[in-house]
């Protein structure tokens, strides 16, 4: 199964080979969707983890034991249909196919089930029609 997480790295954990340890110790494939980590500073990373459900649970526990903060439900993407002009720019950057122009009208279709909440589409929209709606704390 797959699970999407936002990892918050404290400064002391930035240099850890997280994806390597996940692969070797837990047989978990980690696909990095977004990362903002500067050397010797704290940072965040959105990852999609793939693996056995028990190993995923063990891997999450291990990540937390290493001092990382885990956000399992960062929020969801919302499209403002009133602003959207169906230009398709967002669909060209979407890695999961959650955003696509559909025939015959070539209108933007958003499939929330496929969305990884990687947020790559947000800056791609020239009309600010895409937003991340944060989950309640
Ligand atoms: S956040 Fe945007 S770019 Fe990322 S998967 Fe969801 S719809 Fe696609
Ligand atoms: S980039 Fe913005 S305006 Fe263009 S299709 Fe996507 S949401 Fe609509």
Domain spans of the chain, in order of start:
2-71, 75-134
For 3-16, how does the pLDDT look when each residue is reduced to its tens digit (9 = 90+)? 788 888 888 877 78
Question: Matching CATH topology for 2-71 and 75-134?
Answer: yes
pLDDT for res 74: 64
Report whether residue 84 contacts ligand 2, using a CB cutoff of 6 Å. yes
Of the given ranges (11-15, 26-30, 62-66), which has the lowest mean pLDDT? 11-15
* Closest ligand 2 atom to 130 CA: 7
Angle between helix 18-26 and helix 53-65 axes, rounded to 10 deg: 140
pLDDT for res 135: 63
pLDDT for res 95: 85
8 Å CB contact between 47 and 5: yes
Q: Whose CA is nearest to atom 6 of ligand 2?
A: 90
Report whether residue 77 contacts ligand 2, using a CB cutoff of 6 Å. no
pLDDT for res 102: 96
pLDDT for res 12: 81
pLDDT for res 79: 97
Q: How far apart are CA 92 and CA 97, in angstroms?
A: 9
Q: Is the pLDDT of residue 137 over 70?
A: no
For residue 116, how far is its CA from the centre of ligand 1 (angstroms)?
6
Q: Is the pLDDT of residue 44 over 90?
A: no
CATH architecture type of domain 75-134: 2-Layer Sandwich (3.30)
CATH architecture type of domain 2-71: 2-Layer Sandwich (3.30)
pLDDT for res 118: 77
8 Å CB contact between 115 and 76: yes
Q: Whose CA is nearest to atom 6 of ligand 1?
A: 115
Residue 78, sorted as left (phi over 0), alpha (psi -120 to 50) or beta, turns out to be beta
Q: How far apart are CA 66 and CA 6, in angstroms?
A: 15
For 72-125, how does the pLDDT look when each residue is reduced to its tens digit (9 = 90+)? 766 789 999 999 999 999 999 998 899 999 999 999 999 998 887 778 899 999
**Which strands, in side-by-side order, build the sheet including 29-37?**
29-37, 43-50, 2-9, 69-71
């Amino acid at each position: 199964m797959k699970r999407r997480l936002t990892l918050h790295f404290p400064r002391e954990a930035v240099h850890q080979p997280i994806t390597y340890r996940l692969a070797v110790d837990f047989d978990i494939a980690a696909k990095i969707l977004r990362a903002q980590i500067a050397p010797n500073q704290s940072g965040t990373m959105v990852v999609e983890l793939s693996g056995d459900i028990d190993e995923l649970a063990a891997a999450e526990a291990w990540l937390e034991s290493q001092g990382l903060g885990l956000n399992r439900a960062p929020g969801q993407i919302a499209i403002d249909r009133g602003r959207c002009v169906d230009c398709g720019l967002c669909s060209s950057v979407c890695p999961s196919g959650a955003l696509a122009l559909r025939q015959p009208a070539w209108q933007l279709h958003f499939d929330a089930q496929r969305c990884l909440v990687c947020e790559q589409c947000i800056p791609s929209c020239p009309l600010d029609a895409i937003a991340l709606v944060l989950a309640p704390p």
